[in-house]
Amino acid sequence: MADHDHDHPDHDHDHDHDHDHETLDQTVAVADAGPARKKLSIEIPAERIADKLEENFKMIEQDATLPGFRRGRAPRRLIEKRFASELRDEAKNQIISESFQQALRENELQMIGEPEIPDVESLKLPDEGSFTFDVEVEVVPNFELPDLDGIEITKPIFEVADDQVTSELSRYQEMYGKMATVEAAAKDGDYLTGDVVIRSEDGETIQEQPGVTVGVPGKSRKFKGAVAGILVDDLGKTLVGKKAGDDVTLSTTGPKQHEVEAIREQPITIELAIRQVQRLNPMSMEELMTAAGLEDEAALRDMVRQQLDQRHQVDQQQAMQTQVTEVLLAKADMELPEGLTTRQAQRVLQKRATDLMYQGQSQQEIEDHLAELRQASAAEAQRELKMFFVLDRVARELDVQVDEAEVNGRVASLAAQSGRRPERMRQELTREGRLDGLFAQIRDEKAIAKLLEKAKITEMPADEWMKRQTGATPDDDAAASEDEDRPAAKKKTTKKTTKKKTTKSTTKKRPTRSKKKDSE
């Protein structure tokens, strides 16, 4: 696994490996065609075309069957007449593929995604003379890494307070509580299960997602929540009071970074057919102690304190890692391919989901945060991709390797945090496409850890450090505490203004469906 590039975006590394390749006769001209984009003009001499046609003819000749002739015995002129078109098309495709791959190797270009060959279907091998074709490719951005030694870093020192232990116990009570279907109308904190249909402005169905769970966000989250991965303003206000059998229609604009192009920045309608309303019954403290195998609350609090201390160590490392990446991003000058941001939105989301899971966020918090990320500006998405390329380059420069045992250890850690078995967690990560993100997360951490070994580190109390990052004052703390249950997000100092989106909603009552519990 150490030799497998799990995470590079659509990046073919085959040309970096030491394989023996036959050098074919051709002429290649390379020109810039935009940011991190190259145009290759490739000319194939007539002799090579003739050799390829002859090679393909001999393969067909052995198996060709024509009326009146035994297999492999038909005259050449008849075979050429019968298979001329197929022979030339196959030879053209082979020449293009072989020549293109050789051009990448010889020019040391690391391709991203798929090559673009204008009018490839209309290209024909000439009867005489050379064959010329153009191909455009997006490539890994070319940039210089800054000096990696002596980066100045602040190390926040966390301490576990009693109120943090109490809050974490409450979180565990909710995490391990039981969901019960209720006949009552939905209220803040409830969960609705239903079927979602996303339609375009003209009513065409874009996506159907049965059995979706939607949380009812309250005031502490400004009533903002996600439906099928799309952030919706005032969702909580719309869903409060709804019951099983209700149909809710939400009109909004698709997020800028959505994986589905038909949704991206387009007017859409989200239809939610509510099947059931579920309410969380938190686990009692006594039940929590029994589940943990402890006899009294003091022992439980000690256990939680230790877990929080371990989490703070993770927070400390992530805070230092963030500072390192910020320095690298500020000093690494690169241009990203124009089409890359859109194509890589899914990978960015997968990696962020893995990061949040490792931080101990609940599934609902993760989904809400991913919905917020989909709404991010193109500049923020490009920043994520720039960070990817920088850390990828650093890992290569420092020869960072990740083995199977490290991945398994991280899977086990995630499983323990979420109360699942490691094998089930691995299956879930694989099914959701997050295992690659886990590999990238470990590799990035190891690369940054090597940089931290050479960094100039100054310690600082965590509260003071956080206030410096956010510009908060002690008077702001009380106001900020209202948002404690919001999903964790990276703090940004850059201010931006965005046009406020409006979400319209309508509700219709359907005949209540069967009370039979859903198999999901």
Together in a domain, 182 and 257: yes
Structural contact between residues 66 and 82, judged by C-beta atoms closer than 8 angstroms: yes
The encoded tokens of residue 283 equal 């686990």
Task: Name the domain boundary from 281, 310, 333.
Answer: 281
Which of 138, 156, 188 terminates a domain? The answer is 138
Question: What is the Cα–Cα distance from 55 to 448, expressed in whole angstroms?
Answer: 52
Residues 6+ apart with CB under 8 A from 48: 24, 25, 26, 95
Query: Does 389 lie in the same domain as 435?
Result: yes
Domain shared by 99 and 206, yes or no: no
Q: Would you say residue 289 lies in a domain?
A: no
Are 319 and 444 part of one and the same domain? yes
Give the residue among 482, 481, 464 at the shortest CA–CA distance from 473.
464
- Is residue 160 in some structural domain? no
- How crowded is residue 283: how many other Cβ atoms within 10 Å of its Cβ? 18
Q: Are 119 and 423 in contact (CB under 8 A)?
A: no
Q: 10 Å Cβ neighbour count for 506? A: 12
Instruction: Report the alpha-carbon distance of residue 174 to residue 365 in Å, rounded.
Output: 13
- Domain residues for the domain of 189 are 178-281
- Residues 399, 311 share a domain: yes
Spatial CB neighbours of 108, under 8 Å, sequence gap ≥ 6: none
The CATH number assigned to the domain holding 63 equals 3.30.70.1050
Q: Report the amino acid identity of residue 320.
A: M
The answer to whether residue 510 sits within a structural domain is no
Residues 345 and 442 in one domain: yes
Those residues of the chain that have pLDDT short of 50 are: 1-19, 473-501, 511-520
Instruction: Establish if 5 belongs to a structural domain.
Output: no
Whether residue 424 is found in the same domain as residue 323: yes
Q: What is the pLDDT of residue 389?
A: 87
173 falls within a domain: no
Q: Clarify whether residues 114 and 231 are in a common domain.
A: no
Tens of pLDDT, residues 312-351: 998 898 899 889 989 998 888 888 776 665 555 566 666 6
Cα angle value 467/468/469 (rounded, 5°): 90
Q: Among 459, 478, 511, where does a domain finish? A: 459
- The answer to whether residues 340 and 437 belong to one domain is yes
**In whole angstroms, what is the distance from residue 409 CA to residue 299 CA?**
27
Res 12: pLDDT: 42
Q: Residue 496: what pLDDT?
A: 36
Q: Six-digit token pair at 326?
A: 């910020």
Answer yes or no: do 305 and 451 share one domain: yes
d(CA 181, CA 84): 69
245 with 311, same domain: the answer is no
Supply the CATH number for residue 206's domain. Answer: 3.10.50.30
Which pLDDT belongs to residue 345?
57
Supply 66's token pair: 């024509």
3-state secondary structure of 208: strand
452 within domain boundaries: yes
Domain at 385, CATH number: 1.10.3120.10
- Does residue 276 sit in the same domain as residue 299? no
Which tens digit of pLDDT belongs to each residue from 10-65? 444 443 444 456 788 899 999 998 888 899 999 999 999 999 988 878 877 766 67
Contact status, residue 192 vs residue 186, Cβ threshold 8 Å:
yes
- pLDDT of the residue at 214: 94
| Whole-number Å distance between alpha carbons of 275 and 515 | 9
Domain count, the chain: 3
Question: How many Cβ atoms are within 10 Å of 373's Cβ, its own excluded?
Answer: 24
Q: Is residue 1 part of a domain?
A: no
pLDDT for the residue numbered 115: 87
